[in-house]
Homo-oligomer: A and B are copies of this chain.
Amino acid sequence: MQNFIFHNPTKIIFGKNTINAIGKEVKKSAAKKVLLLAGSGSIKNNSVYEQITASLKGSGIEWFELWGVKANPTLEHAQRAISIIKEIGIDAIVAAGGGSVIDEAKAVAAGVFVDDIWDAYLGKISISKALPIFTVLTISATGSEMNPTSVLSNEKAQKKLPLASQLLRPLASIIDPSVQSSLPWEQTVNGGIDILAHIFESYFAGSSQEVTIALNESLMKTVINCIDTLAQDEKNYSARANLAWTATLALNGISAAGIIGDWASHRIEHSISAVHTNIAHGTGLGVVFPAWIKYVYKENIELFQRWAKNIWNANSVEQAISLFQQKLKDWKAPTKLSELGIKYEELDFIASNSLETPTLGVVKLLNQNDVLEILKLAY
C-alpha cells in the first residue's frame, strides 16, 4: 500500500429536493454575484434551472447566466466566460450541469487570475488562485463534483488535457438523483461507463491495497446492477441514487487510496474525442477499455483474474472481456472504434496524439506502438 494523502473538503448535499440549498451555500461564502454556467438548456426542462434561480433569489444572490458549454467543454467557451467575468465582476461560479459544465467552471474559476489558462493545462504555469465553485449536478459520471480535476479541449490545437489543483475543488456540490430520471438513455449509459472506467484506472493498478481493491469491486458491481435496473425502469430512484453516489466515490480519492492509477485508457480516449468532439467520453472509454485490458492483463494477471471471477463470474480474463462487451451491447453502447465513424487511417495520428510524454500507463508502460496496437484491437 503506497503512502497517500486524502483531503477532500468538498461538501456534498445529496438527495431528493436538495437543490434549494444552493442559495444558502453560496451565501455562506460571502459571494454576492455569481456566474451561472450551463450547457444547452436541458436544465430548463427538468426544473433544475427554476430551483436554482429561486434559491439564489431567496438568498439575495445576483447571477449572470452563460449557456452553451459543450459535451467536450472548450477553451474557446471558457475564455468567453473569463472575459465576461473580467468585465462585469463575479464572486463565485455556480456550475449547473454534468462534468462538462463543472470542468469548464474550474477552468474559468482559475482562468480569471492568469493571462492564458491553457498554459496551466499545458503545465507551463501553475495556478495560485481561483474563484469559489459550487455545483448542481445533473448527470453522474465524471466525479468532477468532488474532485480537483478539470479536462478541457482546445479545438484549434485538437488537444484535450487535464488540470488538477486543490484550488479547483468545489466548495459544495448538490446531487439530487431524481433530476437524472429524464436523461436520454445514451447519457445514462455513457455515465455508467465513465464511472466504471474511473474505477478500472485505480483497480487494475492495485496490488496490496486490499481495502481499496475490495471497495472498488463493490463500486463496479453497484454500477452494473444500477444500469441494469435503469434499463428496465429509467425512473427507479434507488438505482439513480446509488449510481450517483457511486460516481462520486469512483473519483473522489476513495477508489484510489494507496494506489497510483494507470490512466492510459483515459489519455487514449481523450486523444480520440479531442479530434472527434462529437464522441462522448463514456462511449470512447467503453470502446478503448476492453482493448486495453486485452493488451495488458498479463502484466498483473492475478488481479485481472480476480476481476474476471468477482465481477463477471468468469473463468478467464478473455471470457470476462467478452462478458463486459456483451453487457455494453445490452446497454446499446458501441464496442468498436469503427462504429464511431473513425477511419482506420486515423489510428496512427490518434496514437501519436495520446503521448504527451514518451510513455503512458502504470500496469504496462505503453509507447506509441503499444497504443496503436490497442487502437487496432478496439477497431
Partner-B contacts on A (CB < 8 A): 1-18, 208-212, 214-215, 217-219, 221-222, 225-226, 237-238, 241-242, 245-246, 249, 254, 257-258
| CB nearest to A245 among chain B residues | B211
A-B CB contact pairs (8 Å), 9 listed: A1-B15, A3-B18, A5-B11, A5-B12, A9-B9, A211-B246, A214-B221, A214-B222, A215-B219
Closest to A221 in B: B214
- Cβ–Cβ < 8 Å partners of A226 in chain B: 210
* Chain B neighbourhood of A16, CB < 8 A: 3
- Could you say which residues of chain B place their CB within 8 Å of the CB of A257? 14, 245
* Cα A219 to Cα B219 with chains together (Å): 12
Residue of B nearest to A207 (CB): B238
CA A245 to CA B212, docked complex, whole Å: 9
In the complex, which residues of chain B have a beta carbon less than 8 angstroms from the beta carbon of A5?
11-14
Q: Is the CB of B12 within 8 A of A238?
A: no
The 6 closest A-B pairs by CB, nearest first: A3-B15, A9-B9, A214-B218, A7-B11, A1-B241, A6-B12
| Listed residue (A11, A218, A237, A254) with the most chain B CB atoms within 10 angstroms of its CB | A218
A169 CB to nearest B CB, Å: 10
* Least CB separation from A214: chain B residue: B218
Q: Is the CB of A1 within 8 A of B219?
A: no
A12 to B258, CA, bound (A): 12
Interface pair B12/A7, CB less than 8 Å apart? yes
With a cutoff of 8 Å between Cβ atoms, the chain B residues found around residue A11 in the complex are 5-7
Question: When A1-B238, A15-B2 are in contact, do A222 and B245 touch as well, CB less than 8 Å?
Answer: no
Query: A1 to chain B: which residues have CB within 8 Å?
Result: 15, 237-238, 241-242, 245
Name the residue of chain B whose CB is nearest to the CB of A4.
B14
Q: What separation, in Å, do the CA atoms of A15 and B8 have in the docked complex? A: 18
Task: Establish whether residues B210 and A225, one from each chain, have CB atoms under 8 Å apart when the complex forms.
Answer: yes
Task: Report B-chain residues with C-beta under 8 Å of the C-beta of A242.
Answer: 1, 208-211
Question: Nearest CB to that of A210 among chain B residues?
Answer: B242
Is the beta-carbon distance between B238 and A222 smaller than 8 angstroms? Answer: no
Query: Given A210-B222, A214-B221, list of 18 further CB < 8 A pairs?
Result: A1-B237, A1-B238, A3-B15, A4-B15, A5-B12, A5-B14, A6-B11, A6-B12, A6-B14, A14-B257, A15-B258, A208-B241, A210-B226, A210-B242, A212-B245, A214-B218, A245-B258, A254-B254
Query: Bound complex: CA of A212 vs CA of B248, how far in Å?
Result: 13
Chain B residue with the shortest CB-CB distance to A8? B8
Q: Which residue of B lies closest to A222 (CB)?
A: B211
Q: How far is the CB of A202 from chain B (nearest CB, A)?
A: 14
Output the nearest chain B residue to A215 by Cβ-Cβ distance.
B218
Of all chain B residues, which has the CB nearest A239? B210
CB of A258 within 8 A of CB of B221, answer: no
A209 partner residues in chain B, CB cutoff 8 A: 242
